[in-house]
Amino acid sequence: VTSSIPMSTWVATLAVTAVASAADGARYTPSQRQSIGLWPLPSNQTSGDTTLAVLSSGFTFPVTGPTTPTLTAVIKRYQGLIFLHGTGAQTPDRVDTPPVKAVGSDALNSCSIKVTDGTEVLTWGMDESYSLEVSTKGCAIAAHTFVGVGYALETLSQLVLSDGGVYSSGSPTYWIPNTPWAIADTPRFGYRGLMVDTARHFLPLNALRRQIDGLSFNKMNALHWHLTDAQSTPLTSKAFPNLQLGAFHPNAVYTLDDIKGIVEYARLRGVQILLEIDMPGHSFAFGVGYPELILNCSSMYPLETEFWTSSLDITRGEQLYSWLETLLTELTAVLPNTLFHIGGDEVQYQCWSSSDVMVAYLKSRNITAVQLYVAFHLLAFPPPSSYRSVSAQPAHKPLSIPEHRPIVQILDRWTVGVAVVALLIACAPISGTTSLNRG
């Protein structure tokens, strides 16, 4: 499309528009929200038709029940989120003010919180329910845990609207429409998560924190952190300093303190970190610093496939298992929960069958590649007792990763979602007289 308007006219028009927009922006400060839209939709809710003023200055959250440092931090965070434009005068000075109820005895100046459980630890399946009531009689939150309180405060932050200071000379006005509100909410799903992949695309800590904030705003409770893969190992290790040689750049790494800090940041927002170290496939980057641990199949396919075809060299036996035990013990020490993800996907058996060493290893033990894959997981991560219905038991003590249960997430052709979570592969029988050991 062509135009007969001179370029100078376009520039002048854009400049005038920019000035007008700037002037308008000075007058109409962006608002945190000017209409109700609860997300996610609570399990049960009722509302009315009365608009209630909220006094931001001096607003309090009196607590009944265990007042822990975690609960205090949650309340302090939402004090800022609910009153996003700060606190100040509540007297409008414009004729086109929003329909805010006149400041008086009905104006809301506090919200009571009743909590029954003083736990500060996140656990899978913990009680995340809450209730929230807002009316001219007051505001009341009830929950069993600090997570439930956080979700209630998130809902309250969505109910509180603001003019951003437009109607009161820069001092923001806050109100809640459609009172009285009565909300009773509990998650439909126990696991509500999102995965980030920092192995293929390194994310700085601030990006991870922003993602966790987004999860908490949506009342999601899990961040699956796919930390390592064939492309990179963005991780430092005190035990294995060469591990970070597999990173994209010396600065594109996470220290153990970084991981610990992210775990704590997430905990305060009701989000658990499910850390994943992918194995035995997708492990090429481990071999940059420790080439002896990798079965390298880079010559088997074109260059672009060497990353995902190569895997940990299970024929290394005790050398490999001891290395893994040390690394994972170091990692899980900074993880407070009991789940740890070990990937397990896309092991390329054609890579194994192309290696003379691997072929000889399988033949000497009279097992198939699939059976070796199962044996690896049984040795590296013993399944829960309820899964020990296998025909061959380890002939030694498996890797000792205290108080952490690994999971393998099995997908059915990437179309129907998660088919099984837990060590399903541990149920596969290993026939013959083979005993499982690290040799």
Segment 187-219, tens digit of pLDDT: 999 999 999 999 999 999 999 999 999 999 999
- In the predicted model, what is the mean pLDDT of residues 53-62? 93
Residue numbers annotated as active site: 346
**Higher per-residue confidence, 416 vs 64:** 64
Give the per-residue pLDDT at 65. Answer: 97
**Higher per-residue confidence, 117 vs 17:** 117
Give the per-residue pLDDT at 85. Answer: 80
Confidence of residue 308 (pLDDT cuts 50, 70, 90): low
- Top mean pLDDT of 23-37, 244-258, 364-378 is at 244-258
Q: What's the Cα-to-Cα distance from 209 to each of 60, 128, 340, 438, rounded to whole Å? A: 27, 21, 20, 39
Is the separation of the CB atoms in 423 and 386 below 8 Å? no
Give the per-residue pLDDT at 147. Answer: 98
Is the separation of the CB atoms in 139 and 61 below 8 Å? no
Segment 347-357, tens digit of pLDDT: 888 888 888 88
Residue 27 has pLDDT above 50, yes or no: no
Confidence of residue 394 (pLDDT cuts 50, 70, 90): very low
Segment 147-167, tens digit of pLDDT: 999 999 999 999 999 887 666
Segment 357-382, tens digit of pLDDT: 899 999 999 989 888 888 887 776 65
d(CA 406, CA 174): 47
Confidence of residue 54 (pLDDT cuts 50, 70, 90): very high
Which contacts qualify for 186-192: CB closer than 8 Å, 24 or more apart? 186/43, 186/128, 186/129, 186/130, 187/128, 187/129, 187/219, 187/221, 188/43, 190/124, 190/125, 191/124, 191/221, 191/222, 192/219, 192/220, 192/221, 192/222
Would strands 174-179 and 50-54 be described as parallel, antiparallel, or unpaired?
antiparallel
d(CA 168, CA 31): 13
Q: Looking at 85-89, 137-141, 316-320, which range is the least confident one?
A: 85-89
- In the predicted model, what is the mean pLDDT of residues 245-259? 96
Give the per-residue pLDDT at 20. Answer: 34
Longest CA span, the chain:
89
- In the predicted model, what is the mean pLDDT of residues 322-334? 88
Nearest to 220 by CA among 252, 266, 183, 177: 266
Q: What's the Cα-to-Cα distance from 57 to each of 88, 92, 125, 138, 238, rounded to whole Å? A: 6, 15, 37, 16, 49
Is the separation of the CB atoms in 227 and 275 below 8 Å? yes
Give the per-residue pLDDT at 239. Answer: 95
Residue 78 has pLDDT above 50, yes or no: yes
